Structure 1
Amino acid sequence: MKTLKSIDLRTLKPHKLTTAFSTNQGQSSSSLSLSKPSQHTLTPPSTPEPPNTPPITQLSLHESILSSQWHFIKHVSPNLTPTLVSTVLYKLRANPDLILKFIDQIEPHRLNIQYHCIAIAIISRLPSPKQALQLIKNVINFRVSTNREIFDDLVGARERLDISSSIVFDLLIRAFCELKRADEAFECFYMMKDKGILPKIETCNDMLSLFLKLNRTETAWVLYAEMFRLKINSTVYTFNIMINVLCKEGKLKKAKEFIGYMEGLGFKPNVVTYNTIIHGYCWRENLEGARRLFEVMKAKGIMPDSYTFGSLISGMCKAGRVEEASVFLEKMEENGLFPTAVTYNALIDGYCNKGNLERAFSYRDEMVKKAIMPTVSTYNLFIHALFMEGRVVEADDMINEMEGKGMAPDAITYNILINGYCRSGNAKKAFNLHDEMLSRGIQPTRVTYTSLIYVLSKRNRMKEADNLFVKIMDKGVLPDVIMFNALIDGHCANENVDRALCLLKEMDRMKVPPDEVTYNTLMQGHCRKGKVEEARELLDEMKRRGIKPDHISYNTLISGYSRRGDIKDAFRVRDEMLSIGFNPTLLTYNALIQGLCKNQEGDHAEELLKEMVSKGIIPDDSTYFTLIEGIGKVEKFMESNGL
């Protein structure tokens, strides 16, 4: 039997490959026919050309959408022409639910604003406005068209589709409101007005509500006046917004009068109406006005709810009337109303501010018994109070308890901790907490950085404080007057008044108005270096800028002149202080006595001591020490003054 020689496939070139498959009993067979190779290299078989894709027509695209062939549509989307897309969108006007699915298959840059506006106009007729709103927001966020262009294209789409409803324009305004873009919303309102189209009252209410949230009360009144002129009828919700606007402006009397105005138009105020004004009174700490309105609403048959009682309790606690607030909590429960964590937090805050932590903790326990879980805010109140009393270990225990219950510290928690450690001078711990904030993805706030600048300034680490200040601004955190004051105080304490004055100019450049603390600190810095005239100029500058000097301002100048021995100037400042209604304080008398003793006017100093005692101002150790040291007759002086 002959043995087959092995074949070297590298010397063969396939000529024809035929494979036959047989399904008989699951078996397969194949036949291989090889011709004599003409070359000694292996050439792969050529890949057959794919069949040409037939051209896409309006009909085929429309049918593919109706049959949900989304994979095919996505594949051919790069070949879709503007005319084709526009026509198919128009043909889909009877199937608005398919519009968004079709658009999702097309790359955004292949759809221009006209296509989007046709789609928006069609899907705006769906029962829910959610999809249309989202598409409008997408168009707005693309930032490829102006508000005018979007509006005009919606007008064109509406006309082409022969849609009589104006809902698409209301949705455009609503989208701008949800994006908190008030100016654009108001611009669309005027464009609607120019077209003779009136927005719905709900749309106007959305705009009014946004202006209120953004504290743009003047703009709210402009819109309200336009609504009145266009005869867009208000609702109770509209009136409640405008009453809230008046309360924010502090016009509580007018807010009450507005109730009569809406009643005159046939509208009945509801509990929200009264709650809004009661909250306004409580916010302004006018509890008597809030209580009177509380009785009025009950007399009119409008029953107070949990928000009514919560506002009053919060207002009482804010005013320090915590016992009265506790009584109101009992009344609330007697009326079958349930307090919330916010209500209890107000009471806890009130008692913490009074230093009565035992009562504050009793309310925490009461919350838990009623299955009202303490919030992060609850723990923040206790942590702050414990830090203020120097009970740092207990504050740390509260943090552990909070985390043990699955509540993560927030930015406020960290700010409390950082501020507490900064006040105690523990810069290292404060900066470690700052780093921990960042590691947890919590962004430090202006309050955080102010505390860190404060501790660096108090520890005379001014270079680090300046560097941190620069980093803060690089991060886009805008400093406020408190942060500037912390930095100015540090430089003045380190006798670098020139740098502190540069910071004052920086405040002006950044439009951060300085306050009396800013100027008092700078005046003290000058007086430490004996530059009392420069301090006097700062006092005059304060007045020119409309900043009222306080006791500290005048006492700083009096001390400056007295230390320098210019006692006549010191008394002139004292007289100026009296002329504007400020009574001298212990600091005033101590500074004047120091100046008199420095000038060896002991008799006059003793007379001043008697004057201050007659006015009920009790001398302190500094007063007596200055007199004893200045007069030099220690035994006689002590004996004559009963010491």
Structure 2
Amino acid sequence: MDVLKLAIAEGKLQSGVDLLKSIPTRGSSPISDLLVRALWECGKVEEALETFYYLKEIGVRPRIEICNGLLSAFLRSKKLGHAWRLYAEMFRMKIPSNTATFNIMINVLCKEGKLRKAEGFLQIMESSGVRPTVVTYNTIIQGHCDRGRVDIGLELLKSMRERGISPDSYTYGILISGLCKRGKLAEASAMFSDMEEQGAKPTAVTFNALIDGFCNKGDLETAFTYRKKMKDRAIKPTVSTYNMLLHALLMEKRNKEADELLEEMQKKDELSPDAITYNILINGKCRAGDIDKALQLFEEMTQKGLPASKVTYTSIIYGLSKSKRVEDGYSLFKEATRRGLSPDTVMFNAMIDGLCSGGKGEKAFLLLEEMERMKVLPDEVTFNSLMRGLCLQGKVEEARELLAEMRRRGIEPDHVSYNTLISGYSRRGAVKEALKLRDEMLSLGFNPTVLTYNALIQGISASGDGDLAEQLLREMAADGVGPNDGTYIALLEGLAAPSSVD
């Protein structure tokens, strides 16, 4: 076997047909089986199929194990059409399918998205006298859960139990993961308890699904409870376990706990932070305003040979912009493109927002043109940033013209678009225009937010119309919009501002 694989690897054996022609072969031949296996194990599935057809031509009937191995090779290499052609040849050659054959072909159907046919194959399997196994059901359950149809997966679990087939750890893991992705965390926890009661041992993958589900919900207490259960059962956490918990802690600004968790991770010899870990940490430091630490992590990541992605650059560009280091962010943006990273909409938005906040609107509009050249579609966030930049420069009319430009491009303005313009007009003292925009916003079905009211109150207070300001406060209460600190600051700033005539 090793000699055959070496010959294939060195290019001395391109096809098994010539070799077999030199060997008198009839019936079943060990050399023919070894040859077909060596070809598919070297990734030459087409050559393996060619050899299979030659064997059929000279009357050799390959063993079912060889047929199944070749079917599996087609499945792994995503040559699903080849798998069906081989399966049809097996049928014509009267090579009876066994459990493994049916399981492979059911997997092929699931990969093709033909899940109803996969379930129908169960009946064909049983009518052929072959009993489905837990692997059979796991394959179909996985297919449904991958497509978000966990309810059908649960029905199949019930069906397999009725047939006397006990679910294993993999069955439970698939369903728990599917439930967590759908946000059905109570059901996932109940299934985990059932899993342990039935004696099926959870794996790190099972725990990671639960930890991820509860982290996404913001329930870190339960997430850490499952991490403790991992330890209690001597199941080692993976890099993914730490990444999910680190991300959740940093999103809640629990930076000290995140640092402690990272330190714990680094003490484990078998675990090393990966590119995802660094992206999480860099993003967390940028959100916390610690841009110097983020840049230090970026340098450390590069030194370790971990590839910086668009996500990495976007986080740092955002952090630099918030730290009023817009030019540094722009340089980093250009560096990313030089390194062959094509900026996406999110990355462009981070840079455009930074430039607009830093009073560099002209550069921001040049980036919009660059987006067009690179065929990267802007979205409402892109235009909202550009509007805010123009409003900060007092160019409110130009900002308002962007509403029409958005619609021309098929982008619908959102409540942020209107709040930005309302704020721009209010700061300039153009209260009537601000109120007109508020009415337009209402006519489109957008409910005013506390930011809408704050902007209006500031402008109205500055104009000296205290009665209208009080009316807006009452309107806020009627709409169920509670005032915040910004509301009272807007009121005081408006009163302190020089009065203006609209």
When the two structures are superposed, what TM-score results if normalisation uses the length of structure 2? 0.76
Q: Relative to 1, partners in 2 of residues 1:472 and 1:574: Cα closer, same or farther, differing over 3 Å?
A: same
Matched, 1:498 2:380: no
Contact 2:7 2:13 in 1 (8 A): no
Match of 2:237 among 351, 374, 379: 374
In the alignment, the residues of structure 2 paired with residue 414 and residue 103 of structure 1 have an alpha-carbon distance, to the nearest angstrom, of 38
The residue type equivalent to 1:383 in the other structure is: L
Q: For the structure 1 residues 98 and 366, does the alpha-carbon distance in structure 2 shift closer, same or farther, using more than 3 Å as the test? A: closer
2: CA distance, partners of 1:166 / 1:594: 88
| Corresponding residue to 2:108 among 241, 258, 270 | 241
Pick the aligned partner of 1:461 from 310, 318, 325: 325
Is the contact made by 2:142 and 2:174 (CA closer than 8 Å) also made in structure 1? yes
Contact 1:278 1:290 in 2 (8 A): yes
| Matched letter for residue 546 of structure 1 | G
Aligned in 2, Cα 1:284/1:620: closer, same or farther, shift over 3 Å?
Answer: farther
> Structure 2 vs 1, CA of residues 631 and 368 (structure 1 numbering), >3 Å: closer, same or farther?
closer
Other structure's SS at 1:336 match: coil
Going from structure 1 to structure 2, the CA distance change for 1:382 and 1:261 (only over 3 Å counts) comes to closer
- Equivalent residue number for residue 280 of structure 2: 416
Whether contact under 8 Å (1:270, 1:302) holds in the other structure is: yes
Any conservation in 2 of the 1:271–1:302 contact (CA below 8 Å)? Answer: yes
Q: Counterpart of 2:171 in structure 1: which amino acid?
A: T
Question: Partner residue of 2:436?
Answer: 572
Instruction: Look at both structures and tell me which one has the larger radius of gyration over its CA atoms.
Output: 1
- The number of aligned residues is 462
CA root-mean-square deviation: 4.2
Pair 1:310 & 2:176 matched: no
Partner of 1:591: 455
Query: What does residue 422 of structure 2 align with?
Result: 558
SS at match of 2:412: coil
CA contact (8 A) 2:40 2:73 kept: no
Give unpaired runs (5+ residues) of structure 1. 1-94, 109-114, 141-149, 168-199, 213-219, 247-253, 633-643
Query: AA paired with 1:440?
Result: K
- Of 484-493 and 593-602, more deviation after overlay is shown by 593-602
Q: Distance in 1 between matches of 2:19 and 2:170?
A: 42
- Partners of 1:329 and 1:258 in 2: CA distance: 30
Q: Which structure ranks higher in relative contact order (CA pairs < 8 Å, sequence separation ≥ 6)?
A: 2
Q: Identify if the C-alpha distance between structure 1 residues 260 and 480 changes in structure 2 by more than 3 Å, giving closer, same or farther.
A: same
1:525 pairs with 2:432? no
Q: Partner amino acid for 2:110?
A: I
Looking at structure 1, the residues matched to 256 and 222 of structure 2 have their Cα atoms a distance apart, in angstroms, of 20
The one-letter code of the counterpart of 2:233 is K
Question: Which SS does the other structure have where 1:127 is aligned?
Answer: helix
Q: Secondary structure at the match of 1:484?
A: helix
- CA shift, 1:261, in A, is 4.6
What do residues 32-62 of structure 1 show as CA deviations (whole Å, max 9, x unaligned)? xxxxxxxxxxxxxxxxxxxxxxxxxxxxxxx
**Within the alignment, does 1:295 sit opposite 2:158 as a pair?**
yes
Partner in structure 2 of residue 122 of structure 1: 19
Alignment of 1:402-413 (within 5 A): 402-406=265-269, 407-413=271-277
Alignment partner, residue 22 of structure 1 = none
Structure 1 residue 102: deviation in Å?
11
Specify the SS of the correspondent of 1:455. Answer: helix
Aligned partners of 1:97, 1:285: CA distance in 2, in Å?
A: 46
What is the CA deviation profile of residues 268-309 of structure 1, one whole-angstrom value per residue up to 9, with x for unaligned ones?
A: 876566546655665666665554454345445554332332
C-alpha deviation, 1:381, in angstroms: 2.5
5 Å-filtered alignment, 1:240-639, equals: 240-246=107-113, 255=115, 257-259=116-118, 261-262=120-121, 271=134, 275=138, 278-279=141-142, 288=151, 290-299=153-162, 301-406=164-269, 407-627=271-491, 630=494
Q: In the alignment, is the contact (CA less than 8 A) between 1:488 and 1:522 conserved in 2? A: yes
SS in 1 for 2:234: coil
Partners of 1:613 and 1:514 in 2: CA distance = 36
Q: Sequence identity, in percent? A: 48
Shift of residue 426 of structure 1? 2.2
- Superposed, 1:97-176 pairs within 5 Å as 117=14, 121-122=18-19, 125=32, 127-129=34-36, 131-132=38-39
Structure 1 CA distance for aligned equivalents of residues 110 and 204 of structure 2? 27
Local SS of the residue matching 2:34: coil
One-letter amino acid of the counterpart of residue 404, structure 1: K
Q: CA deviation at 1:310?
A: 1.9
